[in-house]
Structure 1
Amino acid sequence: MSIFGLRTSNPAFNRYFWRKHKTYSKSKMSISGIILKSLAMLTLVGITATYTWKLFFAGVEVKWYTTIGMFVAIVCSLFISFNHSSAKYLLPIYAVAKGFFLGGISAYAHNRFPNLPFQAIAVTITTFFVMLFLYRLKLIRVTKEFRAIVITASATIFLFYFIGWILWFLKIDAPMLWGTSWFAIGFNVVAAIIASFSLLLDFYYIDRQVGRYPKEREWLATWGLLITLIWLYVEVLRLTRKLAIRF
């Protein structure tokens, strides 16, 4: 998110992470390379998420799988953020860790509200292609002002979640974030919309780098897309869960 840079809401796509490096090969980034790497990483996410899901419904407590997966993914992201050449080594670990995290939270949601995760997946995939369609046809232009709005909103959302996590660790209730009030639902709606718009920024920066930067940077592009897609899925899952509870 924008906490890592000022050019985009996604840390993988700001100027620092895209600067040139002498050790890279002469091969250039390509859309096909990014797609293949993204599919491979999403497959890893799906495998570990399915495994965690099956453990949950087999009666195994998956709390630690979910928690450790979340923290391992955060650590991997920090390493990638400050040493972008490590992306191709750490991204598979990141994908596996995120799979454990997503599998856990999805299983909990499905246990209380059957099929809710599948609905969230469908909404996430649909949103991805809608945003791609809007971007390719230039129905929404990624202008400097548009980027500034999305970056500011992303940073604000991240700050709210960071404060909420601190309060959660301190055993202090934060119903504005985790509750089912109209304010909490509205916050989730806004967060999901901003996550959707972040996809446009991701497309914009990838579009500008393809054919110009070394092929190794495809791993960073893949990492950036995974961050946004997973963020969008989590927001949609939380939103649908809150609506299910309220109605």
Structure 2
Amino acid sequence: MALFQSNNPVFNEKVLQKVGTSQTEGAMTIKGTINKMAFLLVLVMAAAIYAWGAPARQQNIMPFLWGGALGGFALAIIITFKKEWAQYLAPAYALAEGLFLGVISVLYSNLYEGIVLQAVGITFATFLAMLILYRTRIIRATEKFKAIVFTATAGIALFYLLALVLSFFNINIPFLHEGSTIGIIFSLVVVVVAALNLIINFDLIETGAAQGAPKYFEWYASFGMLVTLIWLYLEILRLLSKLNRR
């Protein structure tokens, strides 16, 4: 699922240095990136709605869950290494993740009424808030800021990986899933870190457009932003579920 974006590793300054500037095709623009991001979001929502309705159609939701998760993860890996393929694979990634998110949302909704609508609203509100903070330069994507976010995100990714490994030995980290005070604080920190990754995304999109990155990079940039939004949404769902258990 590629949910963790350590300084958004699929989209950072080194990536921009590697792709260089457009020589034979149109250059990347902010407007073009916004259009493609909107298109990917529509695909995610369409696939999520379809998966959401699976129980009503008496369909097994597990193929959507695992197919979406594994398919999305595989596509994310390919796109990361073959950036020029993003224009073809990013839509497929959006559909796969939409199926996955649809099933996850159904599972949470069955446990806590109204939680999905709350999570969607908070996710987009956070996106808009981060965009305003970035555009007004209240938060600046300085090198120090990026280093802090990178370290925090990498730490979270390693912690989740450790928790996954321990789960294979029936060892669970209580606060990771329980609604204790420590658990809620942990989820709040993760949500904040995910939100701060959006600032870096905005900065790199603006930088890519200013440097005249190739046109296909609009798709790659949109893919990177989508990965961050998916991570943010899942972490908000986790946080809300913990709050509902108190």
TM-score by length of 2: 0.92
- Residue type matched to 1:163 in 2? L
Instruction: Name the residue aligned to 1:223.
Output: 223
Give the Cα separation in 2 of the matches to 1:32 and 1:86: 20
Give the direction of change, closer, same or farther, for the CA distance of 1:32–1:226 in structure 2 (3 Å limit): same
Task: Report if the CA contact (8 A) 1:65-1:104 is conserved.
Answer: yes
**Correspondence 1:202 to 2:201:** yes
Structure 2: tracts of 5 or more residues without a match: none
Task: Report if the CA contact (8 A) 1:2-1:11 is conserved.
Answer: no
Instruction: Name the residue aligned to 1:128.
Output: 127
**Correspondence 1:101 to 2:100:** yes
Q: Which moved more, 1:134-143 or 1:158-167?
A: 158-167
Q: Secondary structure at the match of 1:214?
A: coil
- Residue type matched to 2:171 in 1? I
Alpha-carbon offset, residue 70 of structure 1: 1.0
Give the Cα separation in 2 of the matches to 1:60 and 1:184: 34
Q: RCO greater where, 1 or 2, for CA within 8 Å and sep 6 or more? A: 2
Alpha-carbon offset, residue 43 of structure 1: 0.9
Q: Deviation string for 1:130-156 (max 9, x for gaps)?
A: 111111110112211111110000000
Alignment of 1:1-247 (within 5 A): 9-18=7-16, 19-20=18-19, 25-211=24-210, 212-246=212-246
Give the Cα separation in 1 of the matches to 2:34 and 2:189: 28
Identity %: 37
Give the Cα separation in 2 of the matches to 1:24 and 1:160: 42
Give the Cα separation in 2 of the matches to 1:172 and 1:60: 33
TM-score by length of 1: 0.91
- Residue type matched to 2:223 in 1? W
Give the Cα separation in 2 of the matches to 1:134 and 1:241: 28
Q: Deviation string for 1:145-182 (max 9, x for gaps)?
A: 11111000000011111122223344432323222222
Structure 1: tracts of 5 or more residues without a match: none
Give the Cα separation in 1 of the matches to 2:99 and 2:23: 32
Task: Name the Cα RMSD after superposition.
Answer: 2.1
